Amino acid sequence: MRAWCLMAVLAIVAVAPASTVVARDAPPAPAQVMAIPLELHDALRHAVSDRSTSPQARLDLLMRFLFDPRSGLGMEYDHAATLTVEQAYRTRKANCLTFTILSIALAREVGLEAYAQHIDEVLSWRQENLHLVRSDHVNTGVRIQQRRYTIDVASNDILTRTAPDPISDDMLLAIYYSNRAMELAIDGDYLGAAPYMAASLELDPQSADGLNNAGVVALHTGDSPAAERHYRDALERNPEHLGALVNLSQLYDRQGDTIRAQQLRARSERVLERDPFHHFMAGHQAEAIGDYRTAVARYRRAIRLYSAEHRFHFALARVLLQQGDTRQAIRVLTQARRLADQDSSAFYQAKLNLLRSRADR
């Protein structure tokens, strides 16, 4: 499954005319986003609350309730399903943001201490229509006495560099509104996106991601001065925010301000040069077209910047094998195995056993 949670739009290829789509219904109120419908409340009580008083047991039962299609909700992952709790219950679909909102609401309903967590540096790139999108990630934290647990629907499908940070409900809901705004924007409904973006900034006016996304919406509803202001505000809060750097440089290009546009492009290039995820993706792209020399260089650069990610080492080993360097591939794959979790470590060990058996022939 792919994680598509918090979206920071990095580039708009062309500015379409201001949308003429009639605005959709007003965004739901914050309380409505996390409200548990009566039918879900009753099912949750029957599956969890009525069966145990132990917090640990309630957490285990809650996880079963969320995922078991026979005795519970059987939730399915859908990257575009940014929904309220009630909508998620009706459709049985959720992306990581919706799943976080849903699991927090249900965990609290059964007496658990649950809160949202945000991971800022995440690799999950995707292109949607004319937009290039890079995603952040959210998940659910649960505290039971001195122990902390994480509920994460997409942990195996993202690469991260930092530990998750707890965030408030207001910040989580601001992300929900911003995410919905970007989904509408990507569909071309910028007028429909505007009230969601306003609701997001009202809850969290300091978010660089939110301000960048607000700039995208403003630009496409014909308010270039507001777009510039939002992008600049985003960069005040995070001078290395790649989305704001790229979007503002493009705005200056269209306005004919080539000097400031070039300055921002230079800044964005410096940010990318220090970004291991950027080099990993460049390596992946080079590998896909058979440019193994470039792929090796890019993967090695990613490893130098962030050596703890086992998938970087595995990618390098894979390309070294393509080049016929089995000995070096074994060395690199051994390091990937050392860094990996239990499941991935077993996978790498099986690969190593196969390579070594071939090398001994």
Could you read off the pLDDT of 211-226 as tens digits, one per residue?
Answer: 999 999 999 999 999 9
What pTM was estimated for this model as a whole? 0.81
* Band of residue 4 on the pLDDT scale cut at 50, 70, 90: very low
pLDDT of residue 24: 60
* Band of residue 120 on the pLDDT scale cut at 50, 70, 90: confident
Residue type, 68: D
Query: Which residues, listed in sequence order, are joined to residue 148 by a DSSP beta bridge?
Result: 143
Mean pLDDT of all residues in 44-53:
85
pLDDT of residue 281: 85
**How far is residue 10's CA from residue 91's CA, in Å, rounded to a whole number?**
30
Decide if pLDDT at 7 tops 70.
Answer: no
More confident residue, 18 or 333: 333
Single out the residue of 276, 353, 342, 352 nearest to residue 317, CA to CA.
352
Highest mean pLDDT of the ranges 32-36, 52-56, 134-138? 32-36
Residues 6+ apart with CB under 8 A from 329: 317, 318, 320, 321, 355
Decide if pLDDT at 46 tops 60.
Answer: yes
pLDDT of residue 135: 66
Mean pLDDT of all residues in 258-281:
93
Single out the residue of 184, 188, 190, 157 nearest to residue 311, CA to CA.
157
Q: What torsion do the CA atoms of 343, 348, 349, 352 make, to the nearest 10 degrees?
A: 170
Residues 6+ apart with CB under 8 A from 252: 258, 260, 261, 264
**How far is residue 102's CA from residue 118's CA, in Å, rounded to a whole number?**
15
Strands 125-128 and 131-144: antiparallel
* Band of residue 23 on the pLDDT scale cut at 50, 70, 90: very low
Give the distance between the most distant pair of CA atoms in the chain.
69
Decide if pLDDT at 171 tops 90.
Answer: yes
Decide if pLDDT at 51 tops 80.
Answer: no
Decide if pLDDT at 140 tops 50.
Answer: yes
Mean pLDDT of all residues in 17-39:
78
* Band of residue 356 on the pLDDT scale cut at 50, 70, 90: confident
Q: At what angle do helices 169-186 and 96-109 cross, to 10 degrees?
A: 150
Mean pLDDT of all residues in 28-38:
96
